[in-house]
Structure 1
Amino acid sequence: MPAPLAGLHHITAITGTAQAAIDFYAGILGLRLVKVTVNFDDPTMHHLYFGDARGTPGTLLTVFPQPRSLPGQAGLGVPAPVAFSILPDALPFWRTRLGELGYTPVLTHRFGTPMLRFQAHDLTSCALVPSPDGTTTPWTPAAPFQSTTALQGLHSVTLPVPDLDASTSFFADVLGWSLMHDEDGLRRMKAPSRRSLQAPRACAGRFVDLSDRHPPSQTGTRGPGVVHHIAFRVPTAAAQHAWRERLMHEGFQVSEVRDRTYFKSIYFQDPTRTGGALFEIATDGPGFMVDEPFDTLGHALQVPEQLEDRRSDLTVALPDLDRTVLKAPPTADPDANPPVY
């Protein structure tokens, strides 16, 4: 078995406009905009990264803005909701803040733990889960955010699947994760113990919840409002290479290694056991300070070396972004209830 997958590296969602994503994820949720770049595979659109102060793997939510696409639909192969960790005492703060801003948070419970459900500006299903594990570099841009109320990183993502037993087998036998909870059509899979990992701050993003709480025929569609893919983390390129070899040996079609400047990636799917969800395995490094310093992360458009000769054209074609004035979006629709996965 290669080096264990240390949990979630990032989750990438599809959003409406880039500006609305900044206003919500940075302005409302208080995440740091750590990188403004382009989709390397389609540089006509932005690719925005939000996370803790340093963009630590396990804290990252990234978005592809697709303002002219039809809304996506959660279902088989398309995960929802995305859950972030908060410190246990921060739950009242977030319940009040989201309610005052019109997001109509709903307090539920999953596996005996509170979960505050709400929908983002583009109807992306989100949740906040109290957890004692916190990131060591929380981002506290300004009042009302403090280190005790800031989001602490990713907690989990829910993956609708066609068969719980088969999907559990995929995570356990292929990825090396373990079954932590099993309750009423939901199973929580957990990344390997932190003591066995070679990655720093491995406490964030350690869970994937598998769900069969959906109509059997409801296949998800990608578009604004849903998750595009789930990325798992490995410490090094060597570990990633070992995973690529293992997956191919197991019969998976795996992409070549793709250089994303801030990490290297491979991609694969398991159509039978996970409904065709797209998975990525990404390296922890080199990180987000390879092309701009810590103090100015996210301040300027960054493009990969292979697109540098197109910088001027891309700058003109991409929409202008306001990174300094973080405005509240229109009041969310109180009748738009989050899905039940």
Structure 2
Amino acid sequence: MSIATSGLHHVTAIAGNPQRNADFYLKTLGLRMVKTTVNFDDPGTYHLYYGDESGRPGSLMTFFPFDGAPSGRQGTGQATTTAFSVPEHSIGWWKQHLESVGVDAGRVHNRDGEDALTFRDPDGLGLSLVAHPQGDPRAPWDNGVVPAEHGIRGLHSVTLSVTQEEATAGMLDGLGLRLVSEEGNRFRFAAGDGGPGAFADVLVTPGAPQGMVAAGTVHHVAWRAPDQQTQANWRQELVGSGVNVTSILDRQYFRSIYFREPGGTLLEIASDDPGFTADEPLLELGRALKLPPWLEPSREQIEAALPSLNLPSENNPETMSA
């Protein structure tokens, strides 16, 4: 294809209790709540966006939290690990920090020259903190909870678990990712110039069970398109190559198209524009429930159906509004 992504836009997962989810990603991982809204396809459920100061593409982890949702099963046909990028000197600090709040971080391991720390969030979602030896120039969210020198810089990579790699590799190649390393049953692909935020690892596990999407699993992985016109052109190319692609959907802060790669993982191409300041100022991101114009007439009913959620009343997430 003539169009190629520059890297990851966001990863969206399913969670259980929304307050527990917010507490972990704001207070334990030190991310910013950049948008509090609802699942546009199911407005009785929150859609919570975490990221850096402005929610730049490539920094975003988002959740649909269903209070009381059953646990899913991680397996083939889905993204099984979401990795965040941290400074090279910070892995030891993060191990100590996670263990101090009761998170089992395991041991530090090295792969592709990168130190990594793997753990799970309160719903069992597979996460990793990875230190790239060439560093990561992106700025962290400086919130006073995690020291800025150790703060998460954004997404590092996703791991797609499949039963065989050929067809998935072909799809990634069509998105502009190239194979850059291979270690046993793990194949690393890179978008653009490579580096943190531009990696996808394909893990081949033929005997593993099929994944089941519910709490503690990834719903979809989104790749970047620089603008909406490029996205529309990309959709035409995908349709022309026989891929079953959705229409372009308005997600208020970006536009989206969805399709599955042959291994089963749901993928999205999301536009970089218009961004999260489309409906609230930068300094106030994430503090109030925002609804798109077509749901605003139902605000009263939507708010009544949503579970209570204490949000930061200022930039320090230790200060939560009642």
The TM-score normalised by the length of structure 1 is: 0.88
Match of 1:150 in 2: 151
Q: CA offsets per residue over residues 128-174 of structure 1, 9 Å max, x none?
A: 0002443544211114x2221110000011100121233222212x2
Match of 2:141 in 1: 139
Instruction: Give the counterpart of 2:212 among 216, 221, 229.
Output: 221
Are 1:2 and 1:242, in contact at CA under 8 Å, matched by a contact in 2?
A: no
Instruction: Give the counterpart of 2:230 among 239, 249, 255.
Output: 239
Aligned mates of 2:206, 2:98 — CA distance in 1: 27
SS class of match (1:75): coil
* Structure 1 vs Structure 2 CA RMSD: 1.6
Match of 1:336 in 2: none
Match of 1:168 in 2: 169
Match of 2:274 in 1: 286
Are 1:135 and 1:204, in contact at CA under 8 Å, matched by a contact in 2?
A: no
- The share of aligned pairs that are identical, in percent, is 38
Q: CA deviation at 1:211?
A: 0.5
Aligned mates of 1:193, 1:104 — CA distance in 2: 33
Matched, 1:34 2:25: no
Are 2:164 and 2:206, in contact at CA under 8 Å, matched by a contact in 1?
A: no
Instruction: Give the counterpart of 2:241 among 220, 240, 250.
Output: 250
Match of 2:296 in 1: 308
Aligned mates of 1:206, 1:268 — CA distance in 2: 19
Aligned mates of 1:2, 1:234 — CA distance in 2: 13
Match of 1:128 in 2: 129
Instruction: Give the counterpart of 2:254 among 241, 247, 263.
Output: 263
Q: Please give the residue correspondences for 1:1-341 in structure 2 after superposition, counting only pairs within 5 Å.
A: 1-106=1-106, 107-131=108-132, 132-134=134-136, 136-143=138-145, 145-172=146-173, 174-193=174-193, 204-213=196-205, 215-216=207-208, 218-270=209-261, 273-274=262-263, 276-324=264-312
Aligned mates of 2:296, 2:139 — CA distance in 1: 31
SS class of match (2:150): coil
SS class of match (1:148): helix
2:256 partner amino acid = S
Aligned mates of 2:219, 2:156 — CA distance in 1: 17
Are 2:163 and 2:205, in contact at CA under 8 Å, matched by a contact in 1?
A: no
Aligned mates of 2:23, 2:206 — CA distance in 1: 31
Aligned mates of 1:204, 1:40 — CA distance in 2: 30
Q: CA deviation at 1:120?
A: 0.6
1:158 partner amino acid = T
Aligned mates of 1:113, 1:148 — CA distance in 2: 18
Aligned mates of 1:17, 1:81 — CA distance in 2: 20
SS class of match (1:315): helix
Are 1:135 and 1:153, in contact at CA under 8 Å, matched by a contact in 2?
A: no
Aligned mates of 1:231, 1:316 — CA distance in 2: 31
Aligned mates of 1:133, 1:41 — CA distance in 2: 38
Aligned mates of 2:165, 2:240 — CA distance in 1: 24
Q: CA deviation at 1:69?
A: 2.5
Q: CA deviation at 1:56?
A: 0.5
Q: CA deviation at 1:303?
A: 0.4
Are 2:88 and 2:135, in contact at CA under 8 Å, matched by a contact in 1?
A: no
Q: CA deviation at 1:181?
A: 1.0
Are 1:82 and 1:126, in contact at CA under 8 Å, matched by a contact in 2?
A: yes
The TM-score normalised by the length of structure 2 is: 0.93
Q: CA deviation at 1:26?
A: 0.7
Are 1:171 and 1:177, in contact at CA under 8 Å, matched by a contact in 2?
A: yes
Aligned mates of 1:26, 1:81 — CA distance in 2: 19
SS class of match (1:26): helix
Are 2:15 and 2:69, in contact at CA under 8 Å, matched by a contact in 1?
A: no
Are 1:59 and 1:204, in contact at CA under 8 Å, matched by a contact in 2?
A: no
SS class of match (2:201): strand
Aligned mates of 2:84, 2:8 — CA distance in 1: 12
Q: How many aligned positions are there?
A: 313
Structure 1: where are the runs of 5+ without partners? 195-202, 328-341
Aligned mates of 2:28, 2:206 — CA distance in 1: 30
Aligned mates of 2:295, 2:112 — CA distance in 1: 46
Are 1:59 and 1:153, in contact at CA under 8 Å, matched by a contact in 2?
A: yes
For the structure 1 residues 284 and 204, does the alpha-carbon distance in structure 2 shift closer, same or farther, using more than 3 Å as the test? farther
Aligned mates of 2:12, 2:198 — CA distance in 1: 16
Q: CA deviation at 1:295?
A: 0.7
